[in-house]
Chains A and B, each alone.
Chain A
Amino acid sequence: MQTPISRRRFLERSAQLALAGSAAGSFLAACGNTTTSSSSTKTTITFWNAYNVTDPENQTLLTKVIPAFQQKYPNIVVKSQNIPYNSLLQKLIATVAGGAGPDVVRSDIIWMPQLAKIGALVPTDDIVAQRKSEFYPGPLATCAYKGKYYGLPLDTNTRVMFYGKKLLSEVGASQPPTTTEEFQALSAKISALNKNFYGYAEGGLDAWNILPWIWSFGGAVTNDDYTAATGYINSPQSVAALEYLVNLYKTRALAPNLLGGSSYSPDDEFGKGHVGFILEGPWEPPTLQQTYSSLQYAMALVPAGPGGSSISVVGGEDIAVMSSSKNIDAATTFMQFMTSEAAQVPLGEVGQMPVLTSLTNDSRMPAYFSAFAQQLQTAKPRPVTPNYTKIDTILTNAFNLAFRGQASAQAALNSAAQQIDPLLSA
């Protein structure tokens, strides 16, 4: 039916196609980017972080810190890549699986054990042995996993209570609340002022949002060495804290947005003077200055629960070299630079609290750091375990059940304890 194609024609044709294909391929590849290049003199390393392009920290990073680094080490070029926080962990994992990825990453402290466990990070025992005394012990502890250290602390933070002075005076308070009782009373009064006003607003129902209250009531998530949750997350104090918050929500003292599905932004509403109290971190004052400069506000310790004391949650980031990096030495050099005063000071000036003990009470740091430093003295970290992301989901689900009235606080936390226990032995 069909005559065989002549050999010569076929060879001609396939040569044409191959040439066209490779030409197209190299054209397109040239249009694309590669992340690392290695010429004989210059090394390029990629640095992933979760800053937004317009954040003051990002601006400082790009205009002050990285140029300073490149002045000191002209042979290393640093490419900073902004990845939104919600995608960062996913992308790190994808790169571990695929073998491509950043050389250095600014990672949330809660991801460190998880990343260390799968061998994604380069150990830093030798560096820590030399520099241990330079770092605050709390942040340094977030780099530890099973007796070894990975990465170095980069910045630390906690949440303190921001209060709007105008709203407080409108309800007749001259001092910010120091106990949860006072907090509740004032929040209720502020919410009553106006249909759109709320005493207190939170961004969600994650551990980050709720744990300060649980700890301040004297509750806990687990025991001190992170091996058991039963008896801690469902202790009477923890339950009392959750019930307290649910009560705030039901009486409209707490804004309903935290259940999700809303565009309501607690920080913006606070800036506009519609919300009396928010719990926020050291990045907030520069942001408030930028957008809501006329707001009169101040900071204080988070309220203490009945029979408890003011305990907030430790946050922060570590900086680590990925084990898949092809330029581990250059990356380590950058990591060391970022944890030196040359980088910690300029970033500190825009709200990134430094982790170096040498910078305590340094006059170059913003004055408002003192409020956070005070809270940090008693602040607790979230459970340091490789399964933390799963634990966070379990806690969020439990809080959701209680807030939505689908379970009592006690039942929800009992169930959470049951689910968390097996995860702690990993």
Chain B
Amino acid sequence: MEISSLDRSHAGTRIERRYGQKVRAFRRYLPVYLFILPGMALFGLWTLYPLLDAFVMSFFNWNPNPVAQSPFVGLQNYLEAFSDPVFWQAFRNVVFYTAVTVAGQIILGLAVALLLNRKLFALGFFRVLYYLPVVTSWVVVSLVFAFLFSSSDGPVDWFLGDVLHLIPDTQSWLGSTTLALPTLMILGIWKGIGWNMVIFLAGLQSIPNELYEAARVDGANRWTLFHAITLPLLRPTITFAVVILTMGGFGSFIPMFVLTQGGPLHSTETLLTYAFSNAFSSFDFGYAAAITYIFAFVVFLLALIQIRLMRRKIEY
């Protein structure tokens, strides 16, 4: 029954041939399809179906009760989002938070990686120490920071106020509209430094030593070495980190949810906390779905742009 691919002389019209080839290919790869079926089925069911469902939901004034009526409202939820000041506040918060935490993590992570990138006595020890916050759950670190930045008797308050006398007594951190988001940013940066350090260490170690040697022979100093060799060759690593961290930053949810619920006065509201509260406190599921779709669109676009940048080749 198998027709060898060389035997084209017996093939019929072009369309029949293409169809025949496709069927043959399907048959030949049937075991492969079956092999990937469990994984793809789980993934498809869990990701694709809800993706479509949420999309549909966003065009309705969706009543969570399956028995009840859900009136169709077209683009109203989306228009409402664009004219909602809290939506824009959440958007600004998330952009600001992501920008600061991504920059902070990368700079500090790179700095530590550079320091550790040599034959150090306790290299492994330091690596573990700096990585510890990364392997700790977000819930735990959020609560630790709630304690640290507690305004009545927290260590940070005590250190900056009673010891260094930099701030007035009982400065409120998570309760302040101006300081709450920066406090969460510190949390985000602190948690991510170790991950960046590891990524950059891997990247640094893949730069051939000969390049440095050759440059040193040519009389290059430390800064030139860094500037002309290290940074450019780290570009793919940096871009990778930026893409991943940006996606993570935009999707921030747990610290805000656990600590401030988006407050005070929406100063720590992110797009996801706002969608969550619209769905589960106000029962506005359609509106929440619209918000998450706008959010997903933005993140997807950003990721595309950043991945584009990653494609550029480096000459050396």
* Direct A–B contact in the complex, CB atoms closer than 8 angstroms: yes
Contact surface of A with B, Cβ cutoff 8 Å = 2, 4-5, 10, 14, 89-90, 93-94, 96-97, 99, 114, 118-120, 256-257, 259-264, 323, 387, 389-390, 397, 400-401, 404, 406
Find out whether the CB atom of B31 lies under 8 angstroms from the CB atom of A259. Answer: no
- The CA of A323 and the CA of B67, in the complex, are separated in Å by 10
- The CA of A253 and the CA of B63, in the complex, are separated in Å by 46
Asked whether any CB of chain A lies closer than 8 Å to the CB of B236, the reply is no
- Give residues 135-188 of B contacting A (CB, 8 Å): 147, 149-154, 170, 172-177, 180
B255 to chain A, nearest CB (A): 13
A256: which of B67, B170, B263, B285 is its contact (CB, 8 Å)? B170
B31: which of A5, A90, A93, A400 is its contact (CB, 8 Å)? A5
Known contacts A5-B31, A260-B175, A262-B172; 19 additional CB pairs below 8 A are A4-B30, A90-B281, A93-B64, A93-B279, A93-B280, A97-B66, A97-B285, A118-B68, A119-B67, A119-B68, A256-B172, A261-B175, A263-B150, A263-B152, A264-B151, A387-B282, A400-B264, A401-B265, A406-B265
Contacts of B174 in A (CB 8 A): 260-261
B2 to chain A, nearest CB (A): 9
- The CA of A89 and the CA of B277, in the complex, are separated in Å by 11
Asked whether any CB of chain A lies closer than 8 Å to the CB of B34, the reply is yes
Find out whether the CB atom of B151 lies under 8 angstroms from the CB atom of A261. Answer: yes
- The CA of A404 and the CA of B176, in the complex, are separated in Å by 9
B175 to chain A, nearest CB (A): 3
Contacts of A89 in B (CB 8 A): 280-281
A197 to chain B, nearest CB (A): 14
Asked whether any CB of chain A lies closer than 8 Å to the CB of B295, the reply is no
Contacts of B265 in A (CB 8 A): 397, 400-401, 404, 406
Across the interface, name the chain A residue whose C-beta is closest to B170: A256
Across the interface, name the chain A residue whose C-beta is closest to B176: A261
- Sample of 24 A–B contacts (CB below 8 Å): A4-B28, A89-B280, A90-B281, A97-B65, A97-B66, A118-B63, A118-B283, A119-B68, A256-B170, A259-B264, A260-B175, A260-B260, A260-B264, A261-B151, A261-B172, A261-B176, A262-B151, A262-B152, A263-B152, A263-B153, A263-B154, A387-B282, A390-B282, A404-B265
Once A99-B66, A256-B170, A257-B152 are accepted as A-B contacts, the answer to whether A389 and B282 lie under 8 Å apart by CB is: yes
Contacts of A262 in B (CB 8 A): 150-152, 172, 175
A96: which of B28, B65, B151, B173 is its contact (CB, 8 Å)? B65
Contacts of B180 in A (CB 8 A): 261
Contacts of A260 in B (CB 8 A): 172, 174-175, 260, 263-264
Chief secondary structure at chain B's binding surface: loop
Contacts of B173 in A (CB 8 A): 261
B163 to chain A, nearest CB (A): 18
Contacts of A2 in B (CB 8 A): 28
Contacts of A400 in B (CB 8 A): 177, 263-265
A119: which of B65, B170, B175, B176 is its contact (CB, 8 Å)? B65
- The CA of A404 and the CA of B34, in the complex, are separated in Å by 62
A404: which of B28, B177, B260 is its contact (CB, 8 Å)? B177
B150: which of A5, A90, A261 is its contact (CB, 8 Å)? A261
Contacts of A5 in B (CB 8 A): 31
- The CA of A264 and the CA of B153, in the complex, are separated in Å by 9
Contact surface of B with A, Cβ cutoff 8 Å = 28, 30-31, 34, 63-68, 147, 149-154, 170, 172-177, 180, 260, 263-266, 279-283, 285
Contacts of A118 in B (CB 8 A): 63-65, 68, 283
- List of 3 A-B pairs having minimum Cβ-Cβ separation, nearest first: A261-B175, A261-B174, A260-B175
Give the one of A2, A260, A323 with max B CB within 10 A: A260
- The CA of A97 and the CA of B180, in the complex, are separated in Å by 33
Across the interface, name the chain A residue whose C-beta is closest to B149: A261
Across the interface, name the chain B residue whose C-beta is closest to A396: B263
Contacts of A261 in B (CB 8 A): 149-151, 172-176, 180, 260, 264
- The CA of A90 and the CA of B67, in the complex, are separated in Å by 19
Give the one of A5, A259, A261 with max B CB within 10 A: A261
A354 to chain B, nearest CB (A): 30
Contacts of A94 in B (CB 8 A): 280
- The CA of A390 and the CA of B86, in the complex, are separated in Å by 13
- The CA of A96 and the CA of B67, in the complex, are separated in Å by 10
- The CA of A389 and the CA of B280, in the complex, are separated in Å by 11
Contacts of B151 in A (CB 8 A): 256-257, 261-262, 264
- The CA of A90 and the CA of B288, in the complex, are separated in Å by 14
Give the one of B263, B265, B283, B285 with max A CB within 10 A: B283
Contacts of B30 in A (CB 8 A): 4
Find out whether the CB atom of B283 lies under 8 angstroms from the CB atom of A93. Answer: yes
A74 to chain B, nearest CB (A): 33
Across the interface, name the chain B residue whose C-beta is closest to A86: B261
Contacts of B281 in A (CB 8 A): 89-90, 389
Contacts of A397 in B (CB 8 A): 265-266
Contacts of B172 in A (CB 8 A): 256, 259-262
Contacts of A264 in B (CB 8 A): 151-152
Contacts of A119 in B (CB 8 A): 63, 65, 67-68
A178 to chain B, nearest CB (A): 31
Give the one of B65, B154, B174, B285 with max A CB within 10 A: B65
Across the interface, name the chain A residue whose C-beta is closest to B263: A260
- The CA of A10 and the CA of B283, in the complex, are separated in Å by 49
Find out whether the CB atom of B34 lies under 8 angstroms from the CB atom of A10. Answer: yes
- The CA of A351 and the CA of B279, in the complex, are separated in Å by 34
A136 to chain B, nearest CB (A): 29
Contacts of A389 in B (CB 8 A): 281-282
Contacts of B280 in A (CB 8 A): 89-90, 93-94
- The CA of A10 and the CA of B65, in the complex, are separated in Å by 44
- The CA of A142 and the CA of B316, in the complex, are separated in Å by 75
Find out whether the CB atom of B283 lies under 8 angstroms from the CB atom of A114. Answer: yes
B184 to chain A, nearest CB (A): 11
A120: which of B28, B65, B149 is its contact (CB, 8 Å)? B65
Find out whether the CB atom of A96 lies under 8 angstroms from the CB atom of B264. Answer: no
Across the interface, name the chain B residue whose C-beta is closest to A258: B175
Across the interface, name the chain B residue whose C-beta is closest to A117: B283
Contacts of A406 in B (CB 8 A): 177, 265
B166 to chain A, nearest CB (A): 18
- The CA of A97 and the CA of B65, in the complex, are separated in Å by 5
Contacts of A259 in B (CB 8 A): 172, 175-176, 264
